[in-house]
């Protein structure tokens, strides 16, 4: 039986490896950006994963995979719901930045 720390450490390595594999296969992926369905931030395609209708960035993949491994979540939707507040915050920040741009 692995400890929680061991599982997390293992997941970090696995997910980082996915990112490195992506970059090795298609280096341009690192500079291709998309809006993550989970955290709402603009992230690199490298290391991202499509889960059903959602595409998650490498950071969120780590959260999702760790959540699965630790039986904290059953599917990505749960993680996305848990991130909702954070995502709203991101959107608010974006709007604020936009407002600042317009005011200048
Ligand atoms: Zn994300």
Per 3-state DSSP, the chain is made up of helix, strand and coil in percentages (nearest 5) of 65, 10, 25
pLDDT at residue 90 greater than cutoff 70? yes
The structure tokens listed for 67 are: 């959540």
Q: What is the pLDDT of residue 89?
A: 78
Backbone phi, psi, residue 17, to 5°? -65, -40
Beta bridge pairs of residue 35:
42
The answer to whether 43 touches 36, Cβ cutoff 8 Å, is: yes
Q: What is the pTM of this model?
A: 0.82
pLDDT at residue 100 greater than cutoff 80? no
CA of 14 to the centre of ligand 1 (A): 17
CA 12/CA 36 separation, integer angstroms: 19
CA of 40 to the centre of ligand 1 (A): 6
CA of 81 to the centre of ligand 1 (A): 13
Q: What is the mean predicted confidence (pLDDT) over 11-28?
A: 97
**Which residues, other chains included, contact 6 with Cβ-Cβ below 8 Å and sequence gap of 6+?**
none
CA of 48 to the centre of ligand 1 (A): 8
| SS3 call for 49 | strand
């Amino acid at each position: 039986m692995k400890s929680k720390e061991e599982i997390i450490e293992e997941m970090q390595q696995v997910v980082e490896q996915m990112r490195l594999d992506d970059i090795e296969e298609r280096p341009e992926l690192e500079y291709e950006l998309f809006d993550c369905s989970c955290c709402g931030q603009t992230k690199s395609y490298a290391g991202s994963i499509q889960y059903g209708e959602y595409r998650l960035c490498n950071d969120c993949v780590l959260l999702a995979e760790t959540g699965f491994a630790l039986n904290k979540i059953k599917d990505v939707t749960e993680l996305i719901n848990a991130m909702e507040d954070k995502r709203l915050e991101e959107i608010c920040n974006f709007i604020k930045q936009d407002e600042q741009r317009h005011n200048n």
